[in-house]
A and B are shown apart, each in its own frame.
Chain A
């Protein structure tokens, strides 16, 4: 694995507002890398600097070994871009957009018909852009981002505003891009999207990158808390649970026990305790922290605020 995107010490300001402060990270060949954080965190600015659309005030960026700002045309031949909240001409037809985009790239152009077929847009070939649904527009933008068979694909807030069904369909498409050996760089403020899709994520807030790791790694490091909730109609059970070394607290309401502790071993320890003491259980659930909890812990507030 070698990095296809190298970002080092990037800073970007708009007037007095600092949009990005000292951003540094690398994206490896063939991974889905997510920049996550709330709206206004600086994700889009960071991405647009990497795409060569904006010039950072400071710092260096290399994409596929190219300087995105100075060699923007060379770079644009090799990357695919989907912009946040972009539109096309209202009355451009789907096939015309694909055809135009295909004509812009010198080589390696993918067959537009097949691409539209893969993205489920064949029936919409002759439709005007303005008459497409939100999901169809996003799929068209993905088609345009893939038309030149790019080595790196940039997706900015890809599923914002889509219903869950369309969102899942788009996630499958993005996984398909990775399976073809491409690198995907995406931004999202949806933690579920990051968890399900990304191999690695960088958490961003107020223009700073706070941490970078796999979603699992972030959760393990920042949120080791584990909770087991079970229902056991056994008056002695509480004492047994309190004896578990990994358990930090045990509470019980109406035979429903909540056992809290740290580390992955808690769950195994609870199961062992149940079997050793032959406790009959009618319900058993684990509550595991997710990226949302990680974000809360790292920033002190929820991503939705």
Chain B
């Protein structure tokens, strides 16, 4: 049923790496942000940010992890709109490739990209989180992939509504980045005005922040089942919406 999925995925990975600017922008920028923020934190606190000392220690890794996810989603929005405008989606559809195969390949590429960037970030961040401090890397990676997956479904909805490839990046950024403001990362959700609190409730980033912060601080998955459930539900909701409104040409 998913004939051609792996081949298409592999080709898309190679194509992505052949575009130096895109690859650097998506991978290097979040890592740089992380290093800069890590340095500032180190200067301010005079010591490496201790991971186990409460929520504040998780802020930077969670923020950067989500930046990684969002930049992956933006890259997806851009690629899909370029492919649509160039007739590439249409050309691929006029083969035995199923539409869901084409989109799945892109989701897989973006998840792999997210995981790779996260690995780079953790590698670069070793000096701010010295060995000995227990950080659940593996669970954190899984949590980020679940979050990315959910945000990607919002990306497909955005990719459906952008009129041309030229607007993909700005429209995507305008929709995605403000989600950080209501996600609870900077201001506690209970301190938000009621309207924004309602918005926060349907934004996957909110649950992603809660999930990632908890996992970073050593919570078990059992505590965060509701976050995972909501992220999955939001994924299903936005996928259903994009299935309705998605344009192939």
Q: Which A residues lie at the B interface, using CB under 8 A?
A: 51, 53, 73, 76-77, 81, 83, 85-92, 96, 99-101, 103-105, 128
CB distance from B198 to the nearest CB of A (A): 36
Q: Are A83 and B91 in contact (CB under 8 A)?
A: yes
Contacts of A81 in B (CB 8 A): 94-95
**Of B15, B18, B19, B94, which one neighbours A83 at CB under 8 angstroms?**
B94
Report 7 cross-chain contacts, Cβ distance below 8 Å, ordered by A residue.
A83-B91, A87-B86, A91-B19, A92-B11, A100-B11, A104-B95, A104-B97
**Cα–Cα distance between A86 and B7 once the two chains are bound (Å):** 21
Q: Are B90 and A86 in contact (CB under 8 A)?
A: yes
Classify the secondary structure of B's interface with A: helix
Indicate whether A104 sits within 8 Å of B86 (C-beta atoms), given known contacts A81-B94, A89-B15, A128-B18. no
The number of chain B residues with a CB under 8 A from chain A is: 22
Q: Are B94 and A76 in contact (CB under 8 A)?
A: yes
Contacts of A91 in B (CB 8 A): 15, 18-19
**Cα–Cα distance between A100 and B9 once the two chains are bound (Å):** 10
Contacts of B4 in A (CB 8 A): 100, 103-104
Q: Are A92 and B91 in contact (CB under 8 A)?
A: no
Q: Are A88 and B96 in contact (CB under 8 A)?
A: no
Contacts of B19 in A (CB 8 A): 90-91
Q: Are B96 and A73 in contact (CB under 8 A)?
A: yes
**Of B3, B11, B95, B97, which one neighbours A96 at CB under 8 angstroms?**
B11
CB distance from A99 to the nearest CB of B (A): 7
Indicate whether A87 sits within 8 Å of B88 (C-beta atoms), given known contacts A81-B94, A96-B14, A128-B18. yes
User: Scoring B residues 93 to 113 as 1 if CB is less than 8 Å from chain A, else 0, what string do you get?
Assistant: 111111000000000000000
Indicate whether A88 sits within 8 Å of B88 (C-beta atoms), given known contacts A53-B94, A101-B95, A104-B96. yes
Contacts of B93 in A (CB 8 A): 53
Question: Please, which residue of chain A has its CB at the minimum distance from the CB of B16?
Answer: A91
Q: Are B11 and A86 in contact (CB under 8 A)?
A: no
**Any A CB within 8 A of the CB of B163:** no
**Cα–Cα distance between A227 and B90 once the two chains are bound (Å):** 48
**Any A CB within 8 A of the CB of B25:** no
**Any A CB within 8 A of the CB of B228:** no
